[in-house]
Amino acid sequence: MRASAVHRVSTLAAGIGLTLAAAFSAATPASAAAHTCREAGGSLYVTATSAPVRTAYYETGRVVDTVHRGERLNFTKSCTNSKGNLWYWVDRTYGVNKGWIYSGNAARI
C-alpha cells in the first residue's frame, strides 16, 4: 500500500474512533452516573396498594418483601440513584425485611 493510502486509512480510522467515543460519552451524561445517599431517619407510610422492598435502590433489585397501603415503615437512609429516583432504606422495626422502597410508593410522616 502506498504511503498516501496508509495515511488516509489511518486518518479515517482515527476519525471513526473519535466519533464513536463522542457518541458513547454523549449517550451517558456524567450527571446520570452520579448518585447520592445520606443518613437520615424517619417514618414512612405506604401510599401504593402494594409496594416491593428491594435489595438495591433500582427497579432491578431483587424483591425481599412486599408492603401494603397504610403500613408504617422506619427508614435510616435515603439515596437518589443515577436515574434521579429517591429510595429509602427501611428496617425490620415493623416486621418488614430490610431493603429499599421507592419514594413514589411511600410518603414521609
Give the long-range contacts of residues 16-23, CB within 8 A, separation 24 or more.
none
Reported as a single tens digit per residue, the pLDDT across 20-29 is: 343 333 444 4
In 1-69, alpha helices (H): 3-27, 30-33
3-state SS, residue 85: coil
The pTM assigned to this predicted structure is 0.68
Look up residue 78 and give its three cell numbers. Answer: 435515603
Look up residue 21 and give its three cell numbers. Answer: 467515543
Q: How far apart are CA 35 and CA 82, in angstroms?
A: 5
Percent of the chain predicted with pLDDT > 70: 70
